[in-house]
């Protein structure tokens, strides 16, 4: 988790500057300010800034707009520094806003673009693309391509992540509904039939008697029960996001292919951006890309690619020897043999991967829709079983 710290410092021309910086702790904040060329005189924890930046990531839409605007500005031959004030003013994301302030300060102190981005906390891949593009004189193009890639990756990730949203919503609604039934509905019915019945309650099924006992406990401890439900939801979210669950999900072939191809789509887009910018060896590009991969098997493939490329063999052969899937191996080979730019050929392969992911995601959404309906029906049936069914039993016994 990163915390927000309000700081006051002097820049390289002894001018007093202030702002907000995000870091893991106070010492890390001091170190970041020092690396940026600022002499800090005060660093204080800012609670409101910490709460507003709990997610720890830049707002994707704001980041895309910044990259695209700055890229067009550089393409038009306009200076970067003069556009930073407008970018800061129109950015609503506090994390990005303060990163831009740090970046602006470093640019005013004469730092190179990539170094200013590093101090401001931009993704390492983006820093390296801009560093390489600076050498080749393609910074404007690089920013625009970064904007397109970030927007594409977010669109693809949103489509994949939203696949299971209906199931997650149903699970949360089901837990909340069960809590409400236990806390308010069931206790009233239990007490009524306890007074109205003549000893027939013991003939209720064992599962319903357990439910009734739990409901009476929940009624007497509503706050504690509510906290337990919230804890179950939080733990459930952590379990779903865990590496163990990811490995288990891979047994579902449809989901594995979506996860695998979307990860390769993002990774090879990053590789093509770094390769096209120039100035960065292919093996170093593979090492940079490896850090941004979500899947451990994809990380291992790029790690092997990094080591294999250092021997100087062609990239298509290195990919084949590094254990990449056939669709990646064939795509890279086609891109290398096409005669045009390798980067453009790789982007063509990425486009094919994106289309595959979109088609498979649509198919998975259909399956999830059916599963959601079944899951919703099971929740309703369970609710009926533990609330209305006991009432029918006891009324029938009485009659």
* DSSP labels, 333-383: HHHHHSSS-HHHHHHHHHHHHHHHHHHHHHHHHHHHHHHHHHHHHHHHHHH
Residues 44 and 190 reside in one and the same domain = no
Distance CA 169, CA 184 (A): 22
Residue pointed to by tokens 């915390």: 3
Considering the domain architecture, whether residues 313 and 345 belong to the same structural domain is answered as: yes
The answer as to whether 129 is a domain residue is no
Query: Biggest alpha carbon distance in the chain?
Result: 93
| Phi–psi pair at 18, nearest 5 degrees | -145, 165
Is residue 214 within 8 Å of residue 267, measured between CB atoms? no
Contact between residue 52 and residue 94 where contact means Cβ atoms under 8 Å apart: yes
Give dist(CA 192, CA 195) in Å, integer.
5
User: Are 84 and 172 within one domain?
Assistant: no
Same domain for 214 and 338, yes or no, is yes
Asked if residue 303 has pLDDT above 90, the reply is: yes
- Whether 308 is covered by a domain: the verdict is yes
Lowest mean pLDDT segment, chosen from 41-50, 73-82, 103-112:
41-50
- Considering 63-77, 101-115, 118-132, 137-151, the range whose residues carry the highest mean pLDDT is 63-77
Same domain assignment for residues 184 and 270: yes
Beta carbons within 8 Å of 117's beta carbon, 6+ residues apart = 103, 126, 127, 130
Q: How confident is the model at residue 321 (pLDDT cuts 50, 70, 90)?
A: very high
Beta-carbon contacts of residue 176 (< 8 Å; ≥ 6 apart):
229
The domain boundary, picked from 67, 94, 122, lies at 122
Asked whether 73 and 32 are in contact (CB, 8 A), the reply is no
Answer yes or no: do 294 and 176 share one domain.
yes
Does 39 fall in a domain? yes
- Residue 130 belongs to a domain: no
Domain count, the chain: 2
Clarify whether residues 177 and 287 are in a common domain.
yes
From 122, 155, 177, give the residue that closes a domain.
Answer: 122
φ and ψ of 99, to 5 deg: -65, -40
Contact by Cβ (8 Å): 117, 70? no
Same domain for 114 and 150?
A: no
What radius of gyration do the chain's Cα atoms show?
Answer: 28
- Select from 122, 146, 180 the last residue of a domain: 122
158 occurs within a structural domain: yes
Q: Where is average pLDDT lowest: 197-206, 284-293, 344-353?
A: 197-206
Residue 200 confidence (pLDDT) above 50: no
Residue 71 belongs to some domain of the structure: yes
Q: 209 with 114, same domain?
A: no
Question: Which one has a higher pLDDT value, 48 or 114?
Answer: 114
Residue 319 and residue 380 share a domain: yes
Neighbours of 208 (CB within 10 A): 17
- Based on the domain organization, do 45 and 172 belong to the same domain? no
What lies within 8 Å, CB to CB, of 39 at 6+ separation is: 9, 10, 11
Q: Which residue range(s) make up the domain with 63?
A: 1-122
Clarify whether residues 114 and 154 are in a common domain.
no
131 in a structural domain: no
For the segment 17-37, the average pLDDT, to the nearest whole number, is 75
SS3 for 76?
A: coil
Mean pLDDT throughout 249-264? 87
Please report whether residue 371 resides in a domain: yes
């Amino acid at each position: 988790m990163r915390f927000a710290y309000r700081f006051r410092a002097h820049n390289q021309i002894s001018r007093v500057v202030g702002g907000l910086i995000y870091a893991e702790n106070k010492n890390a904040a001091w170190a970041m300010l020092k690396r940026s060329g600022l002499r800090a005189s005060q660093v204080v924890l800012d609670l409101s800034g910490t709460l507003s930046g709990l997610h720890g990531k830049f707002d994707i839409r704001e980041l895309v707009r910044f990259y695209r605007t700055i890229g067009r500005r550089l393409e038009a031959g306009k200076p970067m520094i003069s556009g930073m004030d407008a970018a800061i003013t129109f950015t609503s994301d506090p994390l990005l806003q303060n990163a831009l302030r740090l970046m602006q300060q470093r640019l005013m102190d004469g730092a190179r673009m990539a170094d200013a981005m590093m101090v401001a906390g931009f993704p390492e891949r983006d820093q390296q693309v801009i560093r390489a593009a600076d050498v080749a004189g393609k910074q404007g193009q690089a920013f625009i391509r970064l904007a397109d890639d970030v927007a594409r990756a977010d669109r693809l990730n949103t489509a994949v992540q939203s696949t299971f949203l209906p199931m997650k919503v149903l699970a949360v609604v089901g837990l909340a509904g069960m809590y409400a039934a236990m806390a308010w509905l069931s206790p009233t019915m239990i007490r009524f039939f306890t007074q109205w019945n003549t000893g027939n309650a013991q003939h209720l099924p064992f599962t319903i008697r357990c439910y009734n006992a739990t409901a009476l406990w929940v009624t007497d401890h509503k706050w504690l029960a509510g906290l337990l439900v919230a804890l179950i939801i939080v733990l459930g979210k952590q379990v779903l996001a865990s590496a163990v669950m990811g490995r288990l999900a891979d047994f579902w072939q449809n989901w594995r292919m979506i996860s695998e191809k979307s990860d390769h789509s993002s990774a090879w887009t990053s590789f093509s951006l770094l390769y096209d910018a120039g100035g960065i060896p292919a093996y170093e590009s593979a090492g940079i890309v490896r850090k941004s991969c979500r899947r451990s098997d994809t990380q291992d493939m790029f790690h092997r690619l990094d080591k294999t490329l250092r021997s100087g063999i062609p990239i298509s052969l290195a990919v084949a020897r590094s254990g990449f899937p056939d669709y990646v191996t064939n795509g890279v080979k086609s891109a290398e043999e096409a005669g045009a730019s390798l980067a453009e050929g790789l982007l063509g392969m990425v486009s094919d991967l994106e289309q595959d992911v979109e088609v498979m995601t649509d198919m998975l959404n259909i399956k999830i829709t059916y599963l959601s309906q079944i899951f919703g029906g099971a929740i309703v049936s369970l609710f009926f079983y533990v609330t209305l069914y006991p009432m029918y039993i006891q009324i029938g016994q009485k009659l």
